[in-house]
Amino acid sequence: MKKWNLVVDVATCENCNNCTLSTKDEHVGNEFPGYAASQPQHGHQWIKIERKVRGSSTMVDAAYCVTTCNQCDNAPCIKAAGNDGSMYKRDDGIVIIDPEKAKGRKDLVDSCPYGAIWWNEEKNIPQKWIFDAHLLDQDWTKPRCVQSCPTGSLQSLCVTDSEMKEIAERDKLEVLHPGLNTKPRVYYRNLYRFTECFVGGTVLAGIEGVTECVAGAEVMLSQDEKVLQTNSTDEFGDFKFDQLKPDSGEYELSVRHQQFGSALTKVMLKNESVYIGSLTIQ
Amino acid sequence: MMQHKCIEPLGESKSDYQIFQEILHRLDLGAIFTEGCSELDWCKRIFDSTDLPEHVSWKKFVQKGYFVVPPEAEATRAPVSMRWFAEDKMKDLPEPSPLPSQFSEKFGKGVETQSGKIEFVSSSLKRGAKDNPDRPAMNIYTPSWEGLNTRELAEKYPLQLMMGHPRYSFHTFSDGKNSLINDIDEHRVLIDGYYYWTIRINPLDAEKRNIKQHDLVRVYNDRSAVIFAADVSPMVGERMIKTYESSALIDLIEGDGPKGYVDRAGCANLLTPSRSQQKGMDGMASNSCLVELAAWTPPEVFVTHHGQESAVVTENVA
């Protein structure tokens, strides 16, 4: 049985909000009986983009993470709903809140640990992203958020669970908060841009009386006398070691350039990325 | 493109053509204006005036609604720009305004400068703008007259305001009209029932002024004061603040501004100088703008600058 999955690439999303807006365009003011009642004009973000900015000064990167209903296979919301048909999972993996039977079930909003269910005050119902099931049932090949994504950051895959497992392993895909054990069907690529840190800096040297950026200097990152990563500086003298765990303690940085000398420094990595600024070698 | 009617016109709405037609009928010039043609007749006449009929019939075109113009054949494409100049030939590109006076020597020979060459020192500025120090004949660095290096002013207003085109609206189009983009936090943020325009602030500048993410801030200088929602992140450098131009709204209320009022709709243009970049030119100098900012607490009752009281809730929501 083929089922729907969504794969989000955190590194290529650049926050255009086309996914959010096209989903609003689809659902605001439009009723799809059996699938979803209309979304209110404001307040709901069935697809919501979170932002993470790392670094400081001249070394800053921003990443954007599309969050939505995870269409969980072990969905806390469906459990909370009970057997009255207010919530159910379709054979193709999509989770649906019945717009009629879920009337008054404000408790379902709190049942989602991801905060992906929204309360519609006017209609007195909980609502969320339905993977555009109403369109897929009319032979659409993808939901609107995927169709409108200009950078290809969103990908919808209709594959068997074993195929998806293979893809997830091959591409090292992650899910949000795996510890919750809800078995999400929304996967993430490059999630480290959100969850992990970098250590970076700029290498300078006094060359013929002028302070210059040093390109091509070898930089080594080590911890407890073990070399973890090596890198060389770019044209601006910048280096960056990424995918370090937050709060992972003290690191040692050593820089060496054949012609211009070397330098050694220590950096403490707390819960945010660190740009150490300039490091002068001699 | 030939767009089909989507819905019947709402209320008394009319097309531009209908409006002009009705006005000119009242001036007894209707027939001259329309030449007896309906809107659709005009579409057909314009269609026939092009070479489109060679590619598609009128009926098919109307049915389909569009025609994709194929790329020009390789053989008939225009030559590479400026190659004629590099090879010292006559200009072989189409001339948009073929005036002989544009060329110093023979028509079509040399580039359209007074020397006929590419100029590092502009000969026309050398002659024509001798008395204007704002327009030197050779490009040189001119320190800003309102920037972080303008000592006295920068002591009073230590932040430089930068503005770019808005990302989620097209100028004022689709902002301030209750559109869906109000829900995008980097466009406007809903705070206490009002959608505030956002402004980016560096964490170091924010900390100095005790400002946190999505706090309301009053940005001010001698020209005006405008309220924004702070977006604190290192994506903008220290001593710079960054927002978008072209808020579609202006909402002046009594408050702590140089003229006794503040704008809370986010019209950053109120803060920028009206002076042009150079004397005698009309380039806007909207990024030569120094400001200071402070946390802002909304008053319990908003009084518009006309003296009318308005409830805390919100003209820009509805």
Per-domain residue ranges for chain B?
Answer: 1-72, 87-142, 151-310
- Is the pLDDT reported for residue B106 higher than 90? no
CB atoms within 10 A of CB B23: 12
Q: Which of B175, B180, B154 is nearest to B266 (CA)?
A: B175
φ/ψ of residue A265, rounded to 5:
-150, 165
- A17 closest CA partner among A70, A69, A64: A64
State the fold for domain A196-280. Immunoglobulin-like (2.60.40)
Which residues between 18 and 37 in chain A have a beta carbon less than 8 angstroms from any beta carbon of chain B? Answer: 20-21, 24-25, 28
Position A176 scores a pLDDT of 97
Q: Which CATH number applies to A3-194?
A: 3.30.70.20
Q: Is the Cβ pair B235, A60 closer than 8 Å?
A: yes
Mean pLDDT across B71-77: 88
Mean pLDDT value of segment B273-299: 92
Q: What is the pLDDT of residues A18-35, one digit of tens each?
A: 999 999 999 999 999 999
Edge to edge, the sheet with strand A186-189 lists: A154-159, A3-9, A186-189
Domain range annotation of chain A = 3-194, 196-280
- B170-190 average pLDDT score: 93
Which residues of chain B neighbour A60 with C-beta distances below 8 Å?
A: 234-235
Longest dimension (CA), chain B: 74
Q: Which residues share a beta bridge with A65? A: A50
pTM of the model: 0.84
Asked whether B162 and B245 are in contact (CB, 8 A), the reply is no
Low-confidence ranges of chain A (pLDDT < 70): none
Provide the pLDDT for residue B145: 92
Q: How confident is the model at residue B308 (pLDDT cuts 50, 70, 90)?
A: low
Reported as half-sphere exposure (CB side, CA atoms, 13 A), residue B191 has a value of 21
Complex ipTM tops 0.85: yes
Q: Indicate if the pLDDT at residue B36 is higher than 90.
A: yes
Q: How many helices (H) and strands (E) does chain B have?
A: 8, 11
Asked if B203 is an interface residue toward chain A (Cβ–Cβ < 8 A), one would say yes
What the block records as the tokens of B97 is 């305004």
Q: How far does the CA of residue A156 sit from the closest CA of chain B (Å)?
A: 23
Quote helix, strand, coil % in chain A, to nearest 5: 15, 40, 45
- Of the candidates A169, A168, A166, which has an alpha carbon nearest to the alpha carbon of residue A155? A168
Question: Rounded to an integer, what distance in angstroms lies between the CA atom of residue A51 and that of residue A20?
Answer: 14
Q: In this structure, which topology does domain B151-310 adopt according to CATH?
A: Barwin-like endoglucanases (2.40.40)
Contact indicator for B133, B267 with CB cutoff of 8 Å: no
Q: Which tokens in the block code for residue B53?
A: 């009929």
CA gap A17, A14 in Å, rounded: 8
Q: Which positions in chain A touch B234 (Cβ < 8 Å)?
A: 53, 55-57, 60
Q: B178 and A28: CB-CB below 8 Å?
A: no
Residue B305 scores a pLDDT above 80: no
Distances, alpha carbon A251 to alpha carbons A49, A72, A94, A265, A280, in Å: 32, 38, 45, 9, 18
d(CA B14, CA B23): 12
Here the tokens at position B61 are 């075109």
Same fold, A3-194 and A196-280: no
- Non-local (6+) Cβ contacts of A193 within 8 A are A10, A11, A52, A54, A61, A63
Predicted pLDDT at B309: 64
Q: Minimal Cα–Cα distance from B235 to chain A, Å? A: 7
Terminus-to-terminus CA distance in chain A, angstroms?
64
Q: Does A144 touch chain B (CB under 8 A)?
A: no
Using CB atoms, which residue from B182, B203, B235 is nearest to A42? Answer: B182
pLDDT interval class at B315 (50, 70, 90): very low
